[in-house]
A = this chain, B = another copy of it.
Amino acid sequence: MESKPLPRPQVSRTAAKQATRALVIRTASRAMRRDGIAATGVAAVMAKAGLTHGGFYAHFASKDALAAAAIDAAFAESSRRIARRVEGLAPAAALAAWIELYVTTSHRDDRSRGCALTALGSEASRGGDAMPAALARGMAQLTDRLADWLAAIDDPAPAATAGAMLAEAVGAITLARVLGATAASDALLTATRASLRRRAGIPA
């Protein structure tokens, strides 16, 4: 009954399973950032991934576990995007590039591919343990990156500056989304970009 004959787990089967798992996570990551976690149903995610809801619990222990994985995936995606954008740039230029990538109307308008901190920070930090932990990991990764650049341009307190800059960027996208695609919203983003550039010691 509880014996474990254990014929040893296969590998190629497992690989296929991991692939669909990754697909479900990617799908959920988009949907949750766009509609929120609560508003994103498990069945809807599975359907959008081309599956049915039945197999879900073979992949995840709970919806919260999926959400945590979705947050991790969102940060991984963002991280890749940043890396691609700053490749080969000097620290000051990298900071400027990050600002131009983050504080933009397209980030405001495309929630599904945006930063998990702005999209899910509020909702995810209320629930469970796994979700806030995933957010905190991604946030630390991002502030570390900013702090490295800031240290390289002789900022006196790179970690503190990085945190405050990220706060400003996150808040700007949040507020810009509140205002929608309006002139006031655009102006807020423009003002924030200027403010961040100034703080990063970038003239222009």
Q: Which chain A residues have a beta carbon within 8 Å of chain B's beta carbons?
A: 34-36, 38-39, 111, 117-126, 132, 135-136, 139, 157, 159-161, 163-164, 166-172, 174-175, 177-180, 187-188, 190-192, 194-195, 199
Cβ of B164 and Cβ of A195 under 8 Å apart? Answer: yes
Query: Which 5 pairs, one residue from A and one from B, show the smallest C-beta to C-beta distance?
Result: A171-B171, A167-B171, A160-B191, A38-B38, A170-B171
With a cutoff of 8 Å between Cβ atoms, the chain B residues found around residue A164 in the complex are 168, 172, 188, 191-192, 195
CA distance A192 to B143 in the complex (A): 14
Cβ of B177 and Cβ of A122 under 8 Å apart? Answer: yes
CA distance A169 to B191 in the complex (A): 15
Cβ of B163 and Cβ of A175 under 8 Å apart? Answer: yes
Among B119, B132, B166, point to the contact of A122 (Cβ < 8 A).
Answer: B119
Closest approach, in angstroms, between the C-beta of A48 and any C-beta of chain B? 18
Cβ of B174 and Cβ of A174 under 8 Å apart? Answer: yes
A-B contacts, 16 listed (Cβ < 8 Å): A35-B126, A38-B39, A39-B126, A111-B126, A118-B122, A122-B122, A132-B178, A139-B179, A160-B194, A163-B187, A164-B195, A167-B171, A168-B171, A170-B170, A170-B174, A170-B175
Closest approach, in angstroms, between the C-beta of A81 and any C-beta of chain B? 20
Cβ of A126 and Cβ of B36 under 8 Å apart? Answer: yes
Given the known interface contacts A119-B122, A167-B175, A171-B170, the answer about A36 and B38 at a Cβ–Cβ threshold of 8 Å is yes
Cβ of B121 and Cβ of A174 under 8 Å apart? Answer: yes
With a cutoff of 8 Å between Cβ atoms, the chain B residues found around residue A124 in the complex are 178
Cβ of B161 and Cβ of A191 under 8 Å apart? Answer: yes
